[in-house]
Copies of this chain bind each other. A is one copy, B any other.
Amino acid sequence: ELGGFPEDCIKVNLDYIRSFQFESKLMPSTWIVIRIDGCHFHRFSEIHEFDKPNDKQALDLMNLCAAAVLKEFQDIIFSYGVSDEYSFVLKKDSQLYQRRASEIVSAIVSFFSSMYVMKWKDVFPEKELKYPPYFDGRAVCYPSNEILRDYLAWRQVDCHINNQYNTCFWNLVKSGKSKSEAQSYLKGTQAREKNELLHKEFGIDYNMLPLMFRQGSSVFRVETENSSIMENDNSVGKAQTKIVTEYCNIIEQTFWEAHPHLGLAATRCP
Contact = CB atoms under 8 A, between A and B. Distances in A.
Interface of A: 1-3, 5, 7, 10, 13-14, 16-17, 19-22, 24-25, 27-30, 36, 39, 68, 97, 101-103, 105-107, 109-118, 129, 132-145, 147, 150-151, 153-154, 156-157, 160-161, 191, 195, 206-207, 214-215, 249, 251, 263, 265-266, 269-270
B110 A3 contact: no
A102 B2 contact: no
Contact of A141 (B13, B20, B265): B20
Contacts of A129: 118
Contact of A154 (B10, B103, B270): B10
Contact of A24 (B24, B68, B118): B24
A68 B107 contact: no
B140 A21 contact: yes
A3 B103 contact: no
Interface of A is mostly: helix
A13 to B, nearest CB: 6
Given A2-B249, A7-B161, A136-B110, A27 B21 contact: no
Copies of this chain, how many? 4
A28 B36 contact: no
Given A110-B113, A135-B106, A143 B143 contact: yes
A196 to B, nearest CB: 12
A263 B269 CA distance: 11
Contacts of A151: 17, 20
A136 B2 contact: no
Nearest to A100: B138
Contacts of A101: 24, 102
Contact of A106 (B3, B19, B105): B105
Contact of A132 (B14, B25, B115, B137): B115
B105 A13 contact: no
A250 B230 CA distance: 47
